[in-house]
Every structure is written in C-alpha cells, then in structure tokens.
Structure 1
C-alpha cells in the first residue's frame, strides 16, 4: 500500500513538474523528465484503484492477477525506450501542446507507439479506474461503516482529493481559451491549494496518516527480536508520585472517588490522549490532585502512570486482533495513547508479564 500511494503522489508531482519546465522555457531538460514520468502516469490510475480496494478489504498484498493492471505501464515503458525503430520525437510540438494546458491530450508521437496511445490511452485508463473505484466504494458501504473513524475519514478524504486531481485534467476539454494566462496561473494555484489542504489534514490527523500509510514496523520480525529487549532508558517510565503523608479521606468518600475514577476512565477513555496527566483527571472530576494520587496508590496499588498505562494496554489487547491485518503494532500502540514503542513494550511487559508476541501466541494456543 505504501508503494501504491507513492506512485500516485509521484505521478501528480510529475505533471506539475513537466508543466513548470515547459513554461520555464527549459527545452533541454524537459524531454528527459517527460519520458521518465510517462510509465508512472500509466501506472497511477491502477495504483489508485488498488490502493482504495486493498485499504477497504484490509489486505496488505496484491493478488497475483492484480499485477495485470500494470500491463499499460509496461507498454508505456517500452514506448519511451530509445529503440532503433522508434520515430523521431518533435519535442517542440509536444512542449507547445503542454503549454496550452493539453498535457493529458498530447497528440504528437512521443515514442514507439502512435500518438493515440497517449491522448486516448491515458484518459481511458484514468476514467475507467476512477469509475471502478467509486463503484467498489459504493458496493463496500457496509465494510466501510465497520472501519474505525480515523480510517473512514482518511479513505473518503483521499478519494475526494484524488478524484478532484484526476477530473481537473479534463478541464482543457471544457475551456475555450486554453492559452489564457489566468488558466495557467489557476492550474498552479489549485494544485498548491489542494496540497495545502492535504498538509493541514495530516497535521490535524498525524496518527492516522502515520498509522495507515507509511508505517513499516513488523511485530513478528525475528531480526528485530523486540520481545527480548526492553529498554530501561525510557524517559516516560513511571515515576513515583509524591503522596502527602497527612492525606485523610473518609471511607465513603474514598469509595465515591474510586467509582468516579472508574466511571470516567471507562466512559470518556481519556487514556487515549498521550498527554493526559493526573492534573487533568483531578480537574475533570473536581478532586484535589493529592486526593487523586492517594486513591490511585491506595485503592489500585499503582502510581498514576502505571494505572493509566493499564487502561491503554487493555485497549491495545482488544484492538490488535481487529486491526493487525492493516495496521502495525506501532500505529495501534499510538492509537492506544502511548507516545513511544519503548514505553509501550515496558508497560505491556509490566501489565501482562509477557511481551506482545508471546502474549498473543499464548492466546491462540488457549
């Protein structure tokens, strides 16, 4: 999925780069980049379709027959090879058509195959895979509704942005004055605006973006041998909380505090916030901080950090079997409220007596 998504981004980058090179008048470099990105253009529509379908289905590998979707990209690669039988390419004419905002509809021959291979082939692939993707999404409504909120938000955001970028390529067909400077400026402005929207989305949803797109941590990788290593140099290791010696709480009040804390943790799940502190708990329940500390130490026999990490580990144990096929352990640990893997492994070992791999293996046996 990481590779599929990277091809989509690189393809869009290539379109903007080619457009800028042509408009800068640098005719010497432009042909090399044009040939370089052509196979990627033909692979991008298939990558878009495969990324969405594998994301929705929860798969992390392509099926064997799905590699056939990349046959057009292979043909495009052959098309741009400098073979002896290839015709002479008129790069000035191609540059002029791109300068007129016809990058998707270049009619000049650019390689081994005739011009229609480009100006009919690319639009056909783009529209075919775009239509197939949305049909798949509509047919998978039930599966999508079962996704967690973050995954659902991401896939619909990605779908809308990618669809917008693909459809905007057809604007030249609807525009009469294609050489107007306003349209060229608008092309760059629209691309930059949408890119800014993506960046803002990522900044507001960092866990989602990191967890679903570019994570590559393998829980079961033998070389990492993570289960046998627990670092003690963890800046987030539980630290003892000072409890005033003269703290006095009546039995009824102690029971009330315990019930309030349990109810709040189970209903609001504040432990999912990695920066949640005992001060926040005290403010939410309107209880003095030193009373919170005393109750946690005396009634739960833990300090605050161990107590809240216990909730996070319980949440992780429930979520991992449901999400391990499409999310990494690091992503699920972050989703559970941990700031780092080191903190997570230490807490998991302390709470269950085992490391994750051994714990879930034991669960399967039992």
Structure 2
C-alpha cells in the first residue's frame, strides 16, 4: 500500500502508516509472549517512532479524504514533529541511561503498551506514558471535530466515500479507546481480563474484516489500492462469456408501433429518473415489475425497438454514469471502485462493456478527452 502507484499516493501512505503501527504493537506483544525477549527490544525501538506518527497520519488521512486533497499543506508537516522527537529518543546516545527491558516486557504482557512507565530511551518515561496517550486523544478528538464540521457528511453525493470514512473512523476509535482500558485496572490482577480483552479485540477485528470483504466498493476503492486491472490489456480485452440471460422465453408479441414507442419512453424515463442500473443485481424481471409491463413486452421493445439485448442496454447506462463520475472521484477512488459504484458486478464485465460502448479502454478514453 505504501508503494502503490494506483489511487492517491498521499492517502495510501498515510493509511499504510496506521496499519504498520498496529502491526508493530501486535508483533511486539507476540515476541514478548513467546519469550523472544532478546529480539523484542529491537522491534520495540524500531516501531516507537511509528507509534508517534500514526495519530497524525490518522488525522491527516481523514481530513485529506473529506477535503479531496492529494498533497499536504506546508503547515501540516509540523504534525510530524513527535515522530522526529521519537527518533531522537530511541537513538543510542552516549548519555542515554540503560533501559530495563525486562520490566518493559512485563508491562507489555499486562497489556499496557500505551502506559509503559519504564524509561525506553533518551527522554524521561513520561515522554511515553503521558506523551502517547495525549497525542492519541488529541488527534482522535480533532478528527471527529473535522468530520462533524465538514460538509462532506451532509453532501448527497459520494455515498461510498462517506460509508468508508465513517466506518474507518469508528473502527479506529474503538481500537484506540480500548487501549485506555488497562489504565482502569492498573492495580488489579489482570491475567483473566487480558485474555478477555484480547478476545474482544479479535472478535471485533474479525467482524470488520468480514464486513470489508462483503463491501467490494470499499475493499477495492480504499484498502486494496495496489490492484491494477488494466496492467494486462490483452487479458482484459478478451471476450467474456455472458451469464445466462434472465429474459423470459421468446413469446409471440403483437404490439402496435405507438404502443412500442410508449413502452420505450416509459422504460427510458424510469431508468433515467430512478437509476436502477446502479443495482448490480437489477434484472429485466425487476424492470417489468416496476413499470407494470409484461416481461416479454420489455424484452421485445429492447431487442426490436432499441436494438440491444437487456445486458448491453443496462450496461450502457452504467458506462454513462461512470464517465460522469470518474472525473469527479478519480482523486479519491480507483477506477475499479467507481465501476462497482456504477452497478457492475465484476471488473471483467465493466472493461468489456466500456470497450464495447466507447471503443477504448477507460484510461485511453479519458486521455483522449483531455487532449480534445
């Protein structure tokens, strides 16, 4: 994600730092728990600057996302001051006092990574057990304030963007606030509590993963940013076998030309006003039910009057929607995510339909638009 070329690089890198920080916490805990105490101290020091960087990246990611920015402003670089101080803190200065790694390991096992009271570098211990919690709470509060003040949430467009950012912030808020739970039981014997606490975190994480996997627009649009479905154009341009058509078996249809024209206008009006093509599973049966026309009449009008089959006809609306949305959202979403938002169920179908409608692949099409 950090080195991904797709999507907005700023957002990719900020988000990757957040995940790296979380990974570091888990890795250090596992190393301590498995008695790899000679190794854990190295990784503890390596990840310490990342811990001080993650809260700022969390805030900057959300604000850049909701404001549609792809670059940091000059004053926003000041957010990285704690990160550089943490680097100074962990460097092996000659004046640095010795570190009691055994005591730090014991506190980590007590699930108190956020509140290590032992000195771990150049600065006093309060730099860690006071500095990190304050930094975390300050940026968490600032992030929620930025969201609530922004018009991004009230806007009627960008439903998937709003869904993602609210999901992301709520999940992050849960994990950040649960880090403070050990503070409430500081003087208690917490072995059983620690086990329950870890199980709760794992369950919540599992729920989050399942949710994301069932939300392809979120997964491909904001997390799996490195995917490049246009990298191999020959493979993409291969003809894709269509799914079995859902249209009703052919029946003898006797419709007057005027009635066919009325039906066609009614169908077009419904598609343009209600935009049912944004639903990936919308079928001709659903169209017939919505406008109260027999299915075989719908099929007849599409095939004979509009001179398309239902799949190509509805995909034409989806491609038109994509062409409008892509210039508005390409700075925050990948082509794949906008394709899903446009109603396509698979990427192969999208690329095949786009080539059929425009004669070009998406990147070539929009490049031609810019030149013209």
TM bin, normalised by shorter chain, reads: 0.7 to 0.9
Question: Normalised by the size of structure 2, how large is the TM-score?
Answer: 0.83
Question: Normalised by the size of structure 1, how large is the TM-score?
Answer: 0.84
Which whole-Å CA distance do the structure 2 matches of 1:158 and 1:245 have between them?
Answer: 51
Which whole-Å CA distance do the structure 1 matches of 2:371 and 2:109 have between them?
Answer: 65
SS at match of 2:120: coil
Which one of 236, 258, 270 corresponds to residue 276 of structure 2?
270
Which deviations, in whole Å up to 9, do the C-alpha atoms of 1:126-169 show, x marking residues without a partner?
122122212222221x2332242221122122212212222222
Which whole-Å CA distance do the structure 2 matches of 1:76 and 1:236 have between them?
Answer: 57
Distance 1:284 1:229, change over 3 A: same
Q: Is the 8 A contact 2:288 2:295 kept in 1?
A: yes
Distance 1:361 1:28, change over 3 A: closer
Which whole-Å CA distance do the structure 2 matches of 1:229 and 1:287 have between them?
Answer: 40
Which one of 297, 300, 310 corresponds to residue 303 of structure 2?
297
What residue in structure 1 maps to residue 53 of structure 2?
Answer: 43
What residue in structure 1 maps to residue 318 of structure 2?
Answer: 312
Q: Is the 8 A contact 1:80 1:111 kept in 2?
A: yes
Number of matched pairs:
361
Q: Is the 8 A contact 1:101 1:179 kept in 2?
A: no
Q: Is the 8 A contact 1:215 1:331 kept in 2?
A: no
Distance 1:63 1:217, change over 3 A: farther
Q: Is the 8 A contact 1:145 1:152 kept in 2?
A: no
Mean alpha-carbon deviation: is it higher for 304-313 or for 109-118? Answer: 109-118
Which whole-Å CA distance do the structure 1 matches of 2:306 and 2:235 have between them?
Answer: 28
Distance 1:238 1:174, change over 3 A: closer
Which deviations, in whole Å up to 9, do the C-alpha atoms of 1:182-221 show, x marking residues without a partner?
32023202211221231232133221232133324789x9
Which deviations, in whole Å up to 9, do the C-alpha atoms of 1:22-67 show, x marking residues without a partner?
3444423322332232121111101111111011101123234423
What residue in structure 2 maps to residue 13 of structure 1?
Answer: 23
Q: Is the 8 A contact 1:104 1:169 kept in 2?
A: yes
What residue in structure 2 maps to residue 143 of structure 1?
Answer: 152
SS at match of 2:38: coil
What residue in structure 1 maps to residue 3 of structure 2?
Answer: none
Which one of 164, 171, 177 corresponds to residue 181 of structure 2?
171
Distance 1:205 1:357, change over 3 A: closer
SS at match of 1:37: helix
Alpha-carbon RMSD across the aligned residues, in angstroms, is 3.3
What residue in structure 2 maps to residue 110 of structure 1?
Answer: 120
Distance 1:284 1:123, change over 3 A: same
What residue in structure 1 maps to residue 341 of structure 2?
Answer: 335
Distance 1:218 1:202, change over 3 A: closer
- After superposition, where does 1:1-366 map in structure 2 within 5 Å? 1-140=11-150, 142-146=151-155, 147-216=157-226, 231-236=237-242, 244=250, 246-282=252-288, 284-285=290-291, 287-352=293-358, 356-357=362-363, 359-360=365-366
Runs (5+) with no aligned partner, structure 2: 1-10
Which deviations, in whole Å up to 9, do the C-alpha atoms of 1:212-268 show, x marking residues without a partner?
33324789x9xx697x997243335999x9984844333354244324422432344
